[in-house]
Amino acid sequence: MTLRYLIHLANYSDGVLYIMLGILTIALAVIIDRFWYLRRTLLGGDRVVAALGEYSEMNRADLARLADEAADLPEGSLLEVATRHAGLISTSQLATRLEETTLRIAPALDRRLWVLDTIVTLAPLLGLFGTIVGMFRAFSVLSVAGQAPTAVTGGIADALVATASGLFVAMLGLLAFNALNNKVRVILHQLDLVQTMLVNRQDGGPVLLGEQNRPAPASARKTATAQ
């Protein structure tokens, strides 16, 4: 299959194959970008979960160290929130703030996946449109005097290339879309796990347990008054 023949096929569909090539390029760019980002995020999340699993309790220093190590990961935002509020609010309040942070992070994970979803639907329709245009050209041969009806066969074969191209792009996009969506689902599970681990591994101090509003012991009040 020569370049000249490919150009002939593209022109036969009135340029639809050129558009298909552009769509395929966009799809590949999104697939590569999202696969690299989500894979790196997934592996980094595994490291954070493993690091948290080594602690039974965590203080502010431990949280700050892990937050620095995971600064470029979604889990880093959760660790930063836990560091900022550790010992200052109750565990229930901390869980609520971590949940809010997770909801803020989630939209960034499936960014640009809508492009693949659109391409999966658009490519077959665009290919079918190119085939219909090619069919018009193929059957127009019959209107020319002296042309054999068998000349239509080759035109139909050329026209069907557009549909085949659209189906190929759609299948590639569908496989990638499902694979990337699965990675997003696993990362969201990691974030929920990290959130639960952070709440469960607080040091259990009085303030963290929601006792910040309890009156101080009498001996402590006397000492504070004396000072």
Does residue 206 register a pLDDT over 60? no
Does residue 141 register a pLDDT over 80? no
For the chain, the DSSP string reads --HHHHHHHHHHTTTHHHHHHHHHHHHHHHHHHHHHHHHHHHHHHHHHHHHHHT-SSB-HHHHHHHHHHTTTSHHHHHHHHHHHHTTTS-HHHHHHHHHHHHHHHHHHHTTTHHHHHHHHHHHHHHHHHHHHHHHHHHHGGGGSTT--TTHHHHHHHHHHHHHHHHHHHHHHHHHHHHHHHHHHHHHHHHHHHHHHHHHHTB---TIIIIITTSPPPHHHHHHHHH-
* Lowest-confidence region among 61-65, 102-106, 131-135: 131-135
With a threshold of 0.85, does the pTM exceed it? no
Which pLDDT does position 226 carry in this prediction? Answer: 43
The domain spans of the chain are 3-211
